[in-house]
A and B are shown apart, each in its own frame.
Chain A
Amino acid sequence: MADTLVEVQKQEIHGQDHEHHDQGFVSKYIFSTDHKIIGMQYMFTGMLMAVIGGYMAYVFRMQLAFPGISVPGFGQVSPGEYNSLITNHGSIMIFWVAMPVLIAAFGNFLIPLMIGADDMVFPRINRLSFQVFFISSVVLLISLFVEGGGFGGAWTSYPPLSANADYNQTQLGASLWLIAVALEFVAFLLGGINFITTLMNSRAPGMKAYDIPMVCWMIVIASILFMLSVGPLLAGAVMLLFDQTLNTGFYDPARGGDPILWQHLFWFFGHPEVYVVLLPAIGITVEVMATFSRKKLFGYKLVLYTAVATGVLSFFVWAHHQFIAGIDPRMANVFTVTTLLISVPIAEMLFVMIATLYGGSITLTTPMLWALSFLAEFLIGGVTGIFLGASGADIYFHDTYFVLAHFHYTFFPIAIIGTFCAFTYWFPKMFGKMMNETLGKIHFWGTIIPFNFIFIPLFVLGMGGQHRRIYNFEHFPEIAGPEYFQLREIATIALLIMLAFQAVFFFNVVMSWWKGEDAGKNPWKANTLEWTTDSPAPHGNWPVEDLPTVYRGPYEYGHPDREEDYWPQNLPG
């Protein structure tokens, strides 16, 4: 049986780890194979990268609102530096924040705990995955300081600009950026194998397919999408690296290459990637909404099937990023159809989430506020996407701030709101302490309100014709008027306020970890298995003789046959 091999490796490793239980700090926290520690490593690395990406946003937003000023903490921003800042901001936020935190950190931490397993199937591959990821982060950060500066050809890295140092003037920066991204992909291929096999093989006795908590499904579906879409891009990245360093001409039209080929490879990955990060965030939101509305999910299978349908469709929409890129104009019609079609399962998934509230008993805890705000804000991102999927309207909107505001209204809810939602919800399980609710709510409102004040002005600017990746709009008379600059200033000031409020979060984490109330096993009275073990969960998650067995689905809240309004998955009868 396939399982036996897996079991052998697992026992071997666990056996080993149990022998040296009094390891030093280094082997316990740096070279650990424990899925919870690896999850934390991913999370803290991701959060650190988020701080760097946020700092970059601060620098370039200051330059945009007040062109030419010396930005405190950075200095004057040159055009080359500006390009490098936006490129690395985008790359960091997607590849080094959204992916490591949502998929790797929570996937690692939650999957074994929620399906009743003692660890991942391949703990050492798991450790390798983080190590490769860590190296990729270091390579990326180094690339910012090499001669010529960091890569500035946008996170989409379109050749010929990205392929030729004569054009981009960042010989080393461009190659290091590409190597860092490729390494990051390798890390997630390794991690993905683990998530998929663990969910298939290590579920607690009794846990059938429809008893799996939704967030686990979502992370696994996301990993499958990632693994199916990234292959062509990795191949494309190698060709681009050859163009950069060995002077080949894969993307050089003068030598028979084609720059558009890269765009196809990039977006064949890039669009599914959007759903790779969206699905885990949806999963997190679903868990939190069920718990704090004390409601069974309105259509478990519907959520699952719409997620799969979205995933499948997401492989057929990529060219909506290339409507005006010079592809055959007839193709645009095909991709308009598929893009509008994908709105159906996504809308349906959101409807199911909204309908889950019906008949519930809703408490607005901090995690619940984050979950609800995810829905409220993501809806804005969703509906504005329709304008861009409609080829005729995209002629105008493409590469304007309308696009930029649209995708920040999807990515910010995913990467930032989704992370805070999960973090505040599972903090008690991670650290055994409750977070302070008052500070949590101050931080919530201090983030959500400024967020809208950043990006609604950017929608308006985009409709007014403001295009992307421009370091100083004073060069374009039509969009340099005072009413345009007012909107830019509103966005920047809102960002400053939002960043300031993040201090409340870090203060809250430190204080709660240090002095917070003890959480106990199940502070939220939730049903899923992670709440049946100690907080924080010990090595191996449950005592070996006491691994949980599953008797029902994860969302049995308010069952008429029970006194209590919740019914943990592991209780017999």
Chain B
Amino acid sequence: MLELVQASTYAADIDRLILLIGVIVGVWFLLAEGIFFWLIWKFRAKPGEKTQYLDGTEKHIKKWITIPHALVLVCDVFILVGAVSVWYDVKQQLPDADSTIRVIGQQWAWTFQHPGADNELDTGDDIFTVGDLHVEVEKTYHFQLQSRDVLHSFSVPVFRLKQDAIPGRSITGWFTPTRTGEHDVQCSEICGIGHGVMAARIHIEDANTHAAWITRSTAATTP
């Protein structure tokens, strides 16, 4: 199996939900396939043996369908609770932010607007980059996701995060990186000929490195 690190607070929650579903449907799957192949073997044609004239409408036979039916419903409830609670955490609520960034998709590049030293967006010291997003570990970020042309999708696999960008709208979401490192940012909604090269990198840095990056980038852009 391919191993992707968990680099956000909710990455582990999403992976746990996937595991929960995996176990539930895995059991059902193995059971169903097991019974299925066993029946094929058990009731293979044998010379001279006639088949049974069965009809599933009789109560004592029908229970073989109605009991699993009820069990499926019960499993659905477990999955539902898991799914909705993860969803609520990632997409429906918005924890307080330490910092806000802007992510702008366009054919075919990601532009990132960082707040700069004053930690405020849309001020003179904002740092714009194309293709490289710099964030500080253990800080909670809000992102404002926008598009200049077609649909794009801001996807950071190590965060387990994905959100479509829509022209004419600004969509706000959040993440908190939990470990330093450098990872892929993808565009995961087809956006034209360059969709396959619309890659970016996210640099998750500790406080010192991040501060140094801000100083360096500000110096580079101030006249």
Contacts and interface: CB of A to CB of B under 8 A. Distances in A.
Nearest to A356: B56
Interface stretch (A228-236, A325-333, A508-516, A521-529): A325-333
A72 interface: no
Contacts of B107: 167
A15 interface: no
Contacts of B2: 460-461, 463-465, 483-484
Interface in B155-200: 155, 157-158, 160-164, 166-169, 171, 183-184, 186, 188-197, 199
Contacts of B151: 158, 160-161, 259
A333 B87 contact: yes
Nearest to B85: A392
Nearest to B1: A460
Interface in B114-142: none
A364 B45 CA distance: 9
Contacts of A461: 2
Interface string B54-93: 1111000010110011001100100110111111001110
B196 A347 contact: no
Interface in B11-41: 13-14, 17-18, 21-22, 24-26, 28-29, 32-33, 35-37, 39-40
A227 B56 CA distance: 32
A409 to B, nearest CB: 12
Contact of A344 (B21, B73, B91): B73
A248 to B, nearest CB: 16
* Most-contacted residue by chain A among B62, B73, B76 (CB, 10 A): B76
Interface string A63-90: 0000000000000000110110000000
Contacts of A299: 55-57, 62, 65
B143 to A, nearest CB: 14
Given A160-B151, A348-B65, A475-B199, A393 B186 contact: no
Contacts of B33: 376, 379
A231 to B, nearest CB: 25
A388 B34 CA distance: 24
B65 A302 contact: yes
A260 B164 CA distance: 11
Nearest to B194: A79
Contacts of A398: 162, 188
Given A299-B65, A467-B186, A358 B166 contact: no
Nearest to A390: B83
A253 interface: yes
A352 B162 contact: no
B149 interface: yes
A176 to B, nearest CB: 18
Interface in A349-374: 350-352, 354-355, 357-364, 372
Interface string A443-477: 00000000000000000110111011111100111
B197 A379 contact: no
A399 interface: yes
A307 to B, nearest CB: 15
B183 A478 contact: yes
Interface stretch (A106-114, A267-275, A557-565): A557-565
Contacts of B160: 395-396
A357 B39 CA distance: 6
A326 B166 contact: yes
Contacts of B25: 383-384, 386-387
B222 interface: no
A18 interface: no
Nearest to B32: A379
Contacts of A386: 21, 24-25, 79
A357 B40 contact: yes
B35 to A, nearest CB: 6
Contact of A361 (B51, B167, B168): B51
B149 A160 contact: yes
A475 B44 contact: no
17 contacts: A80-B193, A83-B195, A152-B192, A167-B107, A293-B51, A298-B55, A340-B80, A354-B32, A355-B56, A386-B25, A386-B79, A393-B14, A395-B86, A396-B18, A396-B162, A398-B188, A565-B50
Q: Which 7 A-B pairs have CB atoms at the shortest separation, nearest pair first? A: A253-B168, A392-B86, A464-B2, A359-B52, A465-B157, A390-B83, A558-B51
Interface of A: 79-80, 82-83, 152-154, 158-161, 167-169, 253-254, 259-260, 293-296, 298-299, 301-302, 324-326, 329-330, 332-333, 336-337, 340-341, 343-344, 347-348, 350-352, 354-355, 357-364, 372, 375-376, 379-380, 383-384, 386-387, 390-393, 395-396, 398-400, 460-461, 463-465, 467-472, 475-479, 483-484, 557-560, 565
Given A83-B192, A348-B72, 15 more contacts: A167-B192, A296-B53, A299-B56, A326-B171, A329-B87, A336-B87, A357-B36, A357-B43, A386-B21, A390-B17, A395-B90, A463-B1, A469-B196, A470-B196, A558-B50
